[in-house]
Amino acid sequence: MSAPLEGRVFVVTGVSSGIGRSTAIEAARAGMDLVITGRRADRLAEAAKVIESLGRRVVSVVGDVTDEGFTERLLDEADRAFGRFDAVFANAGYGAERRVLDFSETEFRRMFEVNFFASAHLIRDAARRLLAARRPGHLLMCSSCVARFTLPGYGPYSATKAAQAMLCRSMRYELKEHGIEVSSVHPVTTTTEFFEVAADTKRTGRPSVAEHAPSYFVQPPERVARAVVRCLVRPRAEVWTSFSARLGAAIFTAFPSIADLFLARHLRYIPACAPPDESSKSRTSPQS
């Protein structure tokens, strides 16, 4: 059943850039009020100005999603400013272009803390509050197409995204009877700073995934944002912004050898396929 978004309150993390910023602005265009967060205060303030220019109310909360008590503070701010929230998009995250064995234990755990555990904490806390208030709502996580198939050099990142997708699917079953929708979002390569920073292109001179990925696997963040807002209007379990990616995920899952052939042809520039002395130069990208 379709539902109008006018006056609904939407909490979005990772709004400093990319998909988070585009989604917050697109939601404002659809009539939603926003609670936005990110680590970079200047970029968050710029996004807030755009939202206000669209005639919507917005509250900005600067901080790191992994900080103790941050999730509670974020949702408390939504309750204080608007008296409620109707939807939450756990979008903040980061990636690193590096072999699995080149990750330290600390780096490996940090990626799960940001991408998975912080997101899980947010939507679980949000779900508990909705249940306690006996209100319907919509909880979303920004997963990825690589939740279904991975890339060399992106093993830990893909693992966090697969974990997000499975958690969303389980919670969708568990909360449906209470009027709470849960969705996972599966974008393909987006033309944002994510891949450039993950590959450290400015320092190494190596191209990012977005520069050499097949054109049908590259999209602007605005396309993802529009798909998320459509899902808020007409909820569904998974949001895919590319039929090719979804079909590819199905084929790669059923026939792993086809995935091997595809990757060998298109992704030779990934550091996991390069000499070890080159791949060791890459570093992690910041979260939004």
**Which CATH number covers residue 143?**
3.40.50.720
DSSP letter, residue 34: E
Give me the residues paired with residue 238 across strands.
184
> Does 112 reside within a domain?
yes
Q: How many domains does the chain have?
A: 1
| DSSP per-residue codes, 6-18 | TT-EEEES-TTSH
Range of the domain at 166: 9-279
Task: Give the per-residue pLDDT at 284.
Answer: 47
Give me the sheet containing 33-38, strands edge to edge.
58-62, 33-38, 9-12, 87-90, 137-142, 180-186, 238-240
> Does 221 reside within a domain?
yes
- CA dist., res. 202 & res. 192, Å (int): 15
Give the percent of the chain with pLDDT over 70. Answer: 81
pLDDT tens for 148-170 read: 988 888 999 999 999 999 999 99
Lowest mean pLDDT among 205-219, 224-238, 259-273: 205-219
Residue 280: which pLDDT band, with cuts at 50, 70 and 90? very low
What mean pLDDT value characterizes the chain?
87
- CA dist., res. 18 & res. 15, Å (int): 7
> Does 286 reside within a domain?
no
> Does 77 reside within a domain?
yes
> Does 180 reside within a domain?
yes
242 vs 139, more confident? 139
pLDDT tens for 46-64 read: 999 999 999 999 999 999 9
Residue 258: which pLDDT band, with cuts at 50, 70 and 90? confident
> Does 284 reside within a domain?
no
> Does 101 reside within a domain?
yes
> Does 287 reside within a domain?
no
Lowest mean pLDDT among 30-39, 91-100, 127-136: 91-100
